[in-house]
Structure 1
Amino acid sequence: MTTVAVFGDLQPQDLLFLGEAALRTLLISSVAIATGSLAGIVFGWMMAAGNRTVQFAMNALLDIFRSVPLLIQLILFDAFVSIAGFPMPAFWSGTMVLSVYTSALVASVARGGIESVPASLRRASRSLGLSYWQDMRYVVWPVGLRSVFPSWVGVSLSVMKDSALVSVIGYIELLKASQILITRTAETFFILGIAGLFYFALSFPLSRAGQYVERRWQQS
């Protein structure tokens, strides 16, 4: 009687496959964090500087993206663009949803940074002849950024880990690649251990860079 092998052995190229998936995770996370942070800063400024109508509208809109689970947002958006006749590659669908999700989180951080600047300091800058935009550029953002920078780092690390959910729409990032290899090899513990190390390798430099910047600011 012949024995049929159901699972295959883990091969060296499988580690390369995981490495490439880790780079795809880094790519989609970096794009989402960069675009989402820029949009979030603008939204945060609108929430802090706008009138009550603008503040209410922005809060209501961003609360939707903060409250609805990211997994549901990904599935709904991917289904919507397909039904609308504008199907997108999984990378772009995932990037757009992650960027909007990031902007909703960063908006609260940016608003907190702006509102943390003492009103007396802003009045002093205006009394020295600075315009509104000069006040924002030279006083509000430098001071506010220091107070909320750790929160922004935390949001970025969270988004990097949440990028694993993009696998639900077919993007082969680190978690999806791990699932594929586990299905073929049944080496669950070993493969997930390697995936965990990759996630650590992606997140640790950002965490350390954030700590380094904070120390430099404290010393200056």
Structure 2
Amino acid sequence: MFNTSLGIDDLIFLAQGAGMTILVTAIAVAIGTVLGIAFGIFRYQAGPVLAAPVTFVLDLFRSIPLLIQLVLANAFIGTVLRLKMSGFTVACAVLSLYTAAYCAEIVRGGIQAVPSNTRRAARSLGMSWFQDMTHIVLPLATRIALPSWIGLALGVMKDSALVYVVQVTELLKSTQILITRLQEPLFLLLICGAFYFIISFPIARFGGYLEKRWSND
């Protein structure tokens, strides 16, 4: 017979950690997506030469492991700038920029995938650049980029487990705390995985639903 020391309070503690994971992910994905759209459009419109500085910075965020970014950002803000910033704020800021770096590439690729003939037809009808982008390019690019964006959102959710280094107690950190106290690693990791599945599955299914619906339009 299976026995466990896990109690209701422990499950509530894990749920609170899951809530923190959802909150950090939601903030990072929301801010990162807005910044990513802006950076992606700029990179596409400015061309490789003028956009080189922005491209270089985005490449840094994509190339350096997230764990190192979190540690360096926390140390820089506290030691060099001497600012008192909570670990939660640092985590959201770094994850947002990390998300924006990947999202910008997704947006740029989506815009480039829109047929040039479609854009020329829109401009020949007298549409301005802004009208062309908002009514033609971005709706088509969204359909193309959606699967990659869903994958990015799910990846950020899992990468948020690294924010423990800036003293943010998210789902995995909560699990590690309980493992240390209860000494039931396999069972607790199984529950942790179930929490991640519960969070991820609706997002993945909703993305699949939108993709299927748009492909039938």
Please report the TM-score for the alignment, with normalisation by the length of structure 1.
0.94
Aligned residue number for residue 13 of structure 2: 17
Stretches of structure 1 lacking an aligned partner (at least 5 in a row): 1-7
Q: 1:108: how far off?
A: 0.2
Q: For residue 191 of structure 2, give the secondary structure of its aligned residue in structure 1.
A: helix
Q: 1:190: how far off?
A: 0.8
Q: 1:51: how far off?
A: 3.8
- Check whether the contact 2:88–2:166 (CA below 8 A) recurs between aligned residues: no
Q: 1:55: how far off?
A: 2.0
Q: 1:27: how far off?
A: 0.4
Counting only pairs closer than 5 Å after superposition, residues 184-195 of structure 1 correspond to structure 2 as 184-195=181-192
- Check whether the contact 1:164–1:175 (CA below 8 A) recurs between aligned residues: yes
1:149 to 134, 146, 155: 146
Aligned residue number for residue 102 of structure 2: 105
Percent of aligned pairs with the same residue?
Answer: 46
Q: For residue 87 of structure 1, give the secondary structure of its aligned residue in structure 2.
A: coil
Counting only pairs closer than 5 Å after superposition, residues 8-87 of structure 1 correspond to structure 2 as 9-83=5-79, 84-87=81-84
Instruction: Write the distance in 2 (CA, Å) between the matches of 1:100 and 1:114.
Output: 21
Q: 1:85: how far off?
A: 1.2
What amino acid is the match of 2:19?
L
Q: 1:97: how far off?
A: 0.3
- Check whether the contact 2:175–2:188 (CA below 8 A) recurs between aligned residues: yes
Aligned residue number for residue 175 of structure 2: 178
Q: Which deviates further from its counterpart, 82-91 or 135-144?
A: 82-91
Q: 1:118: how far off?
A: 1.2
Q: 1:120: how far off?
A: 1.1
- Check whether the contact 1:36–1:99 (CA below 8 A) recurs between aligned residues: yes
1:157-178 deviation line (CA, Å, top 9, x unaligned): 0000000000111100001101
Aligned residue number for residue 115 of structure 1: 112
Aligned residue number for residue 93 of structure 1: 90
Q: 1:89: how far off?
A: 1.0
Aligned residue number for residue 129 of structure 2: 132
Please report the TM-score for the alignment, with normalisation by the length of structure 2.
0.96
Q: Which deviates further from its counterpart, 9-18 or 202-211?
A: 9-18
Q: 1:9: how far off?
A: 3.2
Instruction: Write the distance in 2 (CA, Å) between the matches of 1:157 and 1:41.
Output: 18
* Root-mean-square deviation (Å): 1.1
